[in-house]
Amino acid sequence: MMARRSKAVDLYTDTPIAYEIAPKSGFPLRVLSPHHSTVRKHVYYDFTFAEPMGELANVFAKEFLNFTEPLKLGGGRARFAQLQAFLRETVLVQPDVGKISTWEADRWKALEQQFSRIVRRRNIKDRSKKDLCCGAAAFLKHLQDAGVLPPFEFSEPVKVTNAGKVPPISHLPVDSKRLELLSLAARSAVNELESLADVRDPIKMQEKISRMRDILREHWTEQARAVWTKFVDGNRLADNAANFDVDRFLAEYSPDGGVSFHGSWRDQLSSDALLIKLLKRRYGGIIPARGEEGLQLGDYIREIGAVRRISPILHSTVDSIVPFYGLILNADELALNPSSAKTMTEDSSASTDAPGLQTVYWDKGRSGETFSEHCYIEGANGEMTVPQAQSCLLAMSAPLRPYAVEEERKSLFLVKTLSSTRETIGVISDDALIKGWRRSLDSHPFLCVYKILPMHLRSSHLYHKFLQTGGDVIEVHKLARHAWLETSQIYVNLNTSEFVAARDARQVQDFLLMKATPTRQQLHQELGLDAAVAKRLTVSAASLGFMDWDLDCEQDRLSEFERWLINGEKVFIETVEVAAELYAFRNHLVDNAHVLRETKDWSGTWAPMILLMNAALGEMRADTRNKGSKLAAEYELEYKGFNR
């Protein structure tokens, strides 16, 4: 029988930028993504639907692979779905699509605007509308930069009014059916937590989040210590089993060196410690699966029901890593995305010059940036810290590294499941992680009534910071490490109604001012920001000592600030010293807003200045902003007071 030939165009061995896509006659436009594929798993993008575009379909396919090269697999698939929607709903329905190579800029602009109108009419969330439009526009912009399409302007992005924010844990409902099954003491604990669920009282909401985070931390610390103790003690017992000689056992009961067994070999393996010692010495610490050497031993271990007992001692499993994963996500000083925690590697921590501190590193998938934070190695009251959790994960996953593909070998979240083999060992899948997460929380006496997911913890940290700082979106932005201030506002915009419900007009006014950060272009229009206004604002700020710090600097930062007000030269705001000044001065104005509001200069000078400071901080790179805030705190920058 002839072997089936793949109909895919295999580009795996080619350089992503240098290759040409030239499908053979009759073959579909199904192309391999080299940067998303591994030796074990190939990822394809099927451009067959774009065949009516002729030769341009080949070019689109090639450029799409270049476009998605820096993205992770999930991002690439999302971009492909967005591109499919754009082409299917606008380009491919054109009667002259066969002459697409002759279309001018006006035609492409009209199609992009048409797609924007189609998406806006869809009955989907604003966030989904924005993702569709921006995703398609981003690829079209890439095609412009590559010289494939002529330059043209894009539509205004969809404004997100119903952001679909992931709620914090304080807002999650109680499962009434599960509540009825709890003990009297557990129901009492739930009722005590729910007594704090008053959105009109920020202090109570802050307290509820703090308590729930503390309970989660205690729960996962207890589970993590149990997992780690079992791992350490189990390996120690196996290593110290001096009465069991593996070489002698194999020589007597397995002439082929462990491939098969005969005689009374089962009677010699009388305890888990002996099984573990044999598996570590002969089988690399892995229970043999079907198709592997030692299947007879593996079947025996499964037959006596020892797999679940000894697997967490041999290596990391789904259930053994979940408590450590939860502790990392529950660290409020990091406020990590679930994906950022899951992609941590053995290089995600490093020692520092300061005793007792460790630097923790993580990547943000969408922005591609790497962030870091100093964390204490020892926790208060015996709580497990992030560096300790990373160290445990590193040790437990070490036996699996030789079997992982090269690009996953350093991951802290390598696992072997009950059904996997040496050939399929890899980073835990999202589905397996969520199932393990639910099993972990289902074992808690009363938190099991809340459907807490990993994504809820980041929202909880940001919402807690929002309440803790009295609605300071800049502090939320700093903790979230968002690229844009607008993204941080999405996390807190829905909280405006909670302040309104409290009927505290002054608090509402302060909150709206602090979160309302239009773009600099909008500020120019609304404030009538010309050279004269910029000069007046600069002089007023200078009278309080703004930009007086670091006088040895050769730059005239006050003049540069004035120029930024007028034309927005970003070079000015991309220095750490300027970030420190902007951060400290903006906080100074906000702290004294109760005094400034009663002056004649409030609406014309100080309120616009706060908005402009927000805009400047929002335009900075996240790492510049974070370093600036730390520098401001280190030097304790202060400014003059105000006269009524």
% of the chain exceeding 70 in pLDDT: 83
Reading across the β-sheet that carries 349-351, which strands appear in turn? 349-351, 357-363, 370-376
Query: What integer pLDDT is reported at residue 10 of this predicted model?
Result: 39
As separate numbers, helices (DSSP H) first and strands (DSSP E) second, the chain gives 29, 7
Measured CA to CA in angstroms, residue 402 lies from 92, 282, 422, 423 at distances of 48, 15, 9, 11
Spatial CA neighbour of 433 closest among 448, 412, 450: 412
Q: Report, as an integer, the average pLDDT of 608-629.
A: 74
What integer pLDDT is reported at residue 514 of this predicted model? Answer: 41
Three-state SS annotation for 261-323: CCCCHHHHCCCHHHHHHHHHHHCCCCCCCCCCCCHHHHHHHHHCCCHHHHHHHHCCCHHHHHH
**Of 73, 169, 257, 69, which is closest to residue 450 (Cα–Cα)?**
169
Of the listed ranges 250-259, 537-546, 548-557, 574-583, the least confidently predicted one is 548-557
610 pLDDT higher than 50: yes
Flag whether pLDDT at 572 surpasses 90: no
Give pLDDT, residue 65. 92
Evaluate if residue 474 carries a pLDDT over 90.
no
Distance CA 308, CA 65 (A): 42
As a whole number of angstroms, the distance between CA 317 and CA 58 comes to: 43
The confidence score (pLDDT) of residue 606 equals 82
Q: Is the separation of the CB atoms in 149 and 170 below 8 Å? A: no
Nearest to 608 by CA among 509, 524, 502, 491: 524
Is 130 in contact with 160 (CB distance < 8 Å)? yes
> For the chain, how are helix, strand and coil distributed in percent, rounded to 5?
60, 5, 35
Q: What is the pLDDT of residue 539?
A: 86
What tokens does 350 get? 């490093």
- 406 vs 487, residue with greater confidence: 406
Q: How far apart are the first and last CA of the chain?
A: 94
Model confidence pLDDT, tens digit, residues 53-97 = 998 999 999 999 999 988 878 888 899 999 999 999 999 999 999
| Packed helices 202-239 and 454-468: angle between N→C axes, nearest 10 degrees | 140
pLDDT of residue 510: 43
Using the structure block, give the residue that is written with the tokens 């829905």: 494
pLDDT of residue 463 exceeding 70, the answer is yes
Q: Residue 31 and residue 12: Cα distance in Å, rounded?
A: 9
Residue 6 confidence (pLDDT) above 50: no
Whole-number Å distance between alpha carbons of 153 and 167: 36
Q: Which residue has the higher pLDDT, 192 or 165?
A: 192
The number of beta carbons lying within 10 Å of the beta carbon of residue 495 is 20
Contact yes or no for 448/442 (Cβ under 8 A): yes
| Choice between 239 and 577, residue whose per-residue pLDDT is larger | 239
Long-range pairs, 129-138, Cβ under 8 A, ≥24: 129/158, 130/157, 130/158, 130/159, 130/160, 131/78, 131/82, 132/82, 132/85, 133/157, 133/158, 135/78, 135/79, 135/82, 135/83, 136/82, 136/83, 136/85, 136/86, 136/112, 137/112, 138/67, 138/79
* Low-confidence winner among 41-45, 208-212, 266-270, 306-310 (lowest mean pLDDT): 41-45
pLDDT(229) > 70: yes
Spatial CA neighbour of 182 closest among 511, 445, 412, 385: 445
The pLDDT value given to residue 576: 83
pLDDT at residue 366, rounded to an integer: 63
Q: What is the mean pLDDT of residues 356-366?
A: 87
Judge whether 414 and 408 are in contact, CB under 8 Å. Answer: yes
Please, which pLDDT band fits residue 3 given cuts at 50, 70 and 90?
Answer: very low
Contact of 133 with 157, CB cutoff 8 Å: yes
Tell which residue, 453, 456, 401, has the closest CA to residue 431: 453
What's this model's pTM, rounded to 2 decimal places? 0.65
Helix or strand run (H / E) with residue 362: strand 357-363
Q: Is the pLDDT of residue 544 over 60?
A: yes
Q: Backbone phi, then psi, for 453, in 5-degree steps? A: -120, 165
Using pLDDT thresholds of 50, 70 and 90, give the confidence band for residue 412. Answer: very high
Structure tokens at 237: 């017992």
Q: What is the mean pLDDT of residues 294-301?
A: 93
Tell me the domain boundaries of the chain.
30-145, 184-226+316-456, 241-314, 469-635
Least confident of 31-45, 120-134, 563-577: 563-577
**More confident: 543 or 312:** 312
Read off the tokens for 464.
Answer: 């807690």
Average pLDDT of span 244-255: 92
Token digits for 536? 């007046």
What is the C-alpha separation between 454 and 460, in angstroms, rounded? 10
More confident residue, 263 or 164: 263
Residue 511: pLDDT over 50: no
Provide the β-strand partners of residue 360. Answer: 349, 373
What digits encode the pLDDT tens for the residues 137-163? 999 999 999 999 999 888 877 665 545
Average pLDDT over residues 195-214: 82
Give me the mean pLDDT over the 381-408 stretch: 92
**pLDDT value for 74:** 81
The residues with which 73 forms a beta bridge, in sequence order, are: none
For residue 354, the Cα-to-chain-centroid distance in whole angstroms is 28
Asked if 327 contacts 214 with a C-beta cutoff of 8 angstroms, the reply is no
Angle between helix 73-86 and 55-67 (nearest 10): 150
Torsion sign over Cα 43, 48, 50, 54: positive
Q: State the burial class of residue 366 (Cβ atoms within 10 Å of its Cβ: 0-12, 13-18, 19+).
A: middle
The mean pLDDT value of the chain amounts to 82
Beta pairing, strands 44-46 & 30-32: antiparallel
Q: Using CA atoms, how far apart are residues 499 and 486, in angstroms rounded to an integer? A: 20
**Burial label, 373 (beta-carbon count in 10 A; 0-12, 13-18, 19+):** middle
CA angle 165/167/171 to nearest 5° reads 145
Question: What's residue 554's pLDDT?
Answer: 45
Lowest mean pLDDT, pick from 63-77, 228-242, 327-341, 385-399: 63-77
Would you give the DSSP letter of residue 357? E
Return d(Cα 29, Cα 57) in angstroms, integer: 8
Query: How many other CB atoms are there within 10 angstroms of residue 593's CB atom?
Result: 18
Phi-psi region of 539 (alpha: psi -120 to 50; beta: other; left: phi over 0): alpha
| Beta partners for residue 269, in sequence order | none
